[in-house]
Structure 1
Amino acid sequence: MNKKASRMKRALKLRSNIKRLGTNRLSVHKTSKHIYAQVITENGTVTVASASTTQADIKSAVKSTGNIESAVLVGKAVADKAIAAGITEVTFDRSGFKYHGRVKALADAAREAGLKF
């Protein structure tokens, strides 16, 4: 099993547990250049809020889009949008990525901005 297949297996296991809980989820995806976050409803059909380093306001605020500083901005932005949409509690879906570095920075920033998970 290669690295991507292992990550996808972990992500599937995590998502099945979140689906059983029936809560909104904060889903994170990262590449070497960008990081993406979105808040998805409990049934998984509607994206309530989203933010990424490809957006012009976040991209212009940082020197590089593939670092912890940009992940913090994405976390704050997605939390602000979710709270504005009326969602304050979510379950964190790290998409099989390890909880450190940019993923951890995004989660901590979202918590500081007011999301509870």
Structure 2
Amino acid sequence: MVIPPPARPPRIINFLKPYVLKMSFSNKYITAQVFHQPTATVASSASSQETALRTTMGNTHDVEAAAKIGKILADRLLFKGIPAVTVFLKREQKYHGKVKAIVDSLSHAGVKLI
């Protein structure tokens, strides 16, 4: 008779922090995406590469552009009904400059940061 191993409870982190904000910066563009961790899908994204945004922005890679990207992403998240996100910073990313501009514009627009 084979005894199955005891059932483990599901990982709590999947339920407490399902939406994660990830940012990437190149020399020309800024991209911010919100992932749904349990299903590994992109819930919403905003980028300075979008043609509708490039025409309204003068510069696509500075701090002001990052703030606009954060505001647009926050509007898209609230429209989809996502009230809170977790910020994921890579090892080389520090909380200042473009990163701070995106995160601050998200919080000022009404998205809660966990």
> What range is the shorter-chain TM-score in?
0.7 to 0.9
CA 1:104/1:20 → structure 2, altered by over 3 Å: closer, same or farther?
farther
Relative to its length, the structure with more helix (as a share) is: 1
- State TM-score, norm by structure 2: 0.79
| 1:106 counterpart = 2:102 | yes
When the two chains are superposed, the root-mean-square deviation of aligned CA atoms in Å is 1.6
Among 17, 24, 32, the alignment partner of 1:29 is 24
Structure 2 stretches lacking a partner, 5+ long: 1-10
Structure 1 stretches lacking a partner, 5+ long: 1-18
Distance in 1 separating the partners of 2:103 and 2:110: 11
Tell me which stretches of 4 or more aligned residues in structure 1 moved more than 2 Å. 19-22
Q: Percent identity?
A: 31
Distance in 1 separating the partners of 2:39 and 2:24: 16
Specify which structure has the bigger relative contact order, considering alpha-carbon pairs within 8 angstroms and separated by 6 or more residues.
1
Q: Which amino acid aligns with 1:98?
A: K
Please state how far the C-alpha of 1:98 moved relative to its aligned partner.
1.3
| 1:88 counterpart = 2:83 | yes
Q: Which residue of 2 aligns with 1:50?
A: 45
How many residues align structurally? 99
